[in-house]
Amino acid sequence: MRPDEYTPWVADPLRTVRTPLLHTAAIRAEWVRCTLQSREPTAEAWEPETQIIFTLGGMFVYHVGRARQLVDSNRIAFVRAGQTSADSRAAGPDVSYLVLTPDPALVGDRRIPHTARAAVQLQIAAARWVAVLRTGAAIEPAVAEEEAIRIASAALTSPGLPDGVAPSAAERLAERAKSLLAPSGRPLDLSSLARRLAVSPAYLSDAFCRAEGVPLVRYQLRLRLVRALAELPHADDLTALAFELGFSSHSHFTTAFRTTMGMTPSQYRRQVRTAAIQRS
């Protein structure tokens, strides 16, 4: 596809909601929610600028040429300037994500991977930034811009898989496992998942940890907690949210959130709402 035939990354407006969050000379940001109805890839789209994608809910398959990568909240996806790509549905239909488009000067001559692992603190920063902006508060553009640039810069320095390196057996098995997992709700136990994949629980556990950098149980928990980061600022009933995310109780949700995020769900919600009020 030629540059003058540019179409958006997800082209169907009937299935996509785009919310602009920030637009400055240094960086642009938008929150996107879409419903991918087919496992077949969308039409390839050409992107003139480098984009950084943080998945905040759900997962999708990212296609670049013949390469494909399952992207979720444990991964950051990159669309390189001048690259054509497509996406398709993975385990669930609904996907939400933050798209950052930095100025080319910020990207520089870095070797950009197709995907990279997302550190927990970077996930928290991106989700919190989106949550504050989505409240509709009149935040000082310079403040929002500085945080967006910090998040983008951290993402651009995240280690990724070099081009031309074929996925290992562990990575292929991890992707198969991830495609069977729901991005929210009650997790699958190791034995049940291993049985569906026709491997031993021990082999699956070892392979998944090598491929994703976290044990399978912690990975499933991270998916639910990252979704919680996006939902908490707008949730008034934390017990209902806990059940929706697959936790057995409010206290179970609170303990898991505090252990991973360093604060309780109520504290996080209060921080985001207070930040929005102070900046409005």
Length of the chain: 280
Res. 3: pLDDT tops 60: no
Mean pLDDT along residues 169-192:
82
The 10 Å Cβ neighbour count of residue 249 is: 11
Nearest to 87 by CA among 31, 41, 38, 32: 41
Res. 159: pLDDT tops 70: yes
| Helix runs in 245-279, H state only | 250-261, 265-278
Mean pLDDT along residues 28-37:
82
Predicted model pTM? 0.79
CA atoms of 107 and 237, how far apart (whole Å): 41
Res. 259: pLDDT tops 80: yes
pLDDT at 105: 92
pLDDT at 182: 64
Cα–Cα distances in angstroms (integers) from residue 99 to residues 9, 27, 155, 165, 209, in the given order: 10, 10, 12, 26, 28
Reported as a single tens digit per residue, the pLDDT across 128-141 is 888 888 776 667 78
Res. 4: pLDDT tops 60: no
pLDDT at 242: 93
Res. 11: pLDDT tops 60: no
Same fold? 3-156, 173-278: no
Q: Fold for 173-278, please state it.
A: Arc Repressor Mutant, subunit A (1.10.10)
pLDDT: which is higher, 273 or 197? 197
Reported as a single tens digit per residue, the pLDDT across 227-241 is 888 888 888 999 999
Are residues 214 and 222 in contact, defined by beta-carbon separation less than 8 angstroms?
yes
Reported as a single tens digit per residue, the pLDDT across 201-217 is 999 999 999 988 889 98
pLDDT at 54: 93
In terms of CATH, what superfamily is 3-156? Jelly Rolls (2.60.120.10)
Sequence-distant contacts of 185-194: CB under 8 A, at least 24 apart: 185/224, 185/244, 185/245, 185/246, 186/246, 187/217, 187/220, 187/221, 187/224, 187/246, 188/220, 190/216, 190/217
pLDDT at 36: 61
Nearest to 121 by CA among 247, 28, 222: 222
pLDDT: which is higher, 26 or 90? 26
pLDDT at 15: 67
Domain boundaries, the chain: 3-156, 173-278
Res. 14: pLDDT tops 60: no
